[in-house]
Amino acid sequence: MPCYAINNVIPVVHPNAFVHPTAVLIGDVILEEGVYIGPFASLRADFGQIHVCKNSNVQDNCVIHGFPKSITLIEEYGHIGHAAILHGCTIGKNVLVGMNSVILDEAEIGENTIIGANSTVKAKAVIPANVLALGSPAKVIRDLLEQEIEWKRNGTNEYIHLVQRCINTLREVEPLISLENRLDFTNFKAEHKLY
Q: Could you tell me if 109 and 127 are in contact, meaning their C-beta atoms sit under 8 angstroms apart?
A: yes
pLDDT score of 186: 79
Q: Is 193 exposed, middle or buried (0-12, 13-18, 19+ CB in 10 A)?
A: exposed
Q: Taking a C-beta distance cutoff of 8 angstroms, is the pair 62, 41 a contact? A: yes
pLDDT of residue 187: 75
- For position 127, what pLDDT does the model report? 99
Q: For residue 97, what is the enclosing H or E element?
A: strand 96-97
Contact (CB, 8 A) for 161 and 155: no
Domains of the chain and CATH, by start = 3-143 (2.160.10.10)
> What pLDDT score does 194 carry?
57
pTM reported for the whole predicted model = 0.94
In angstroms, the CA 135 to CA 40 distance is: 26
- CA-to-CA dists, residue 7 to 10, 65, 88, angstroms: 9, 17, 20
Alpha-carbon Rg of the chain, whole angstroms?
Answer: 17
Please give the pLDDT value at position 6. 97
Contact criterion met (CB below 8 Å) for 60 and 78: no
Q: What sign does the dihedral 119-92-57-21 (CA atoms) show?
A: positive
Q: Along the 195 residues of the chain, how does pLDDT read in single tens digits?
A: 799 999 999 999 999 999 999 999 999 999 999 999 999 999 999 999 999 999 999 999 999 999 999 999 999 999 999 999 999 999 999 999 999 999 999 999 999 999 999 999 999 999 999 999 999 999 999 999 999 999 999 999 999 999 999 999 999 999 999 988 888 877 776 665 655
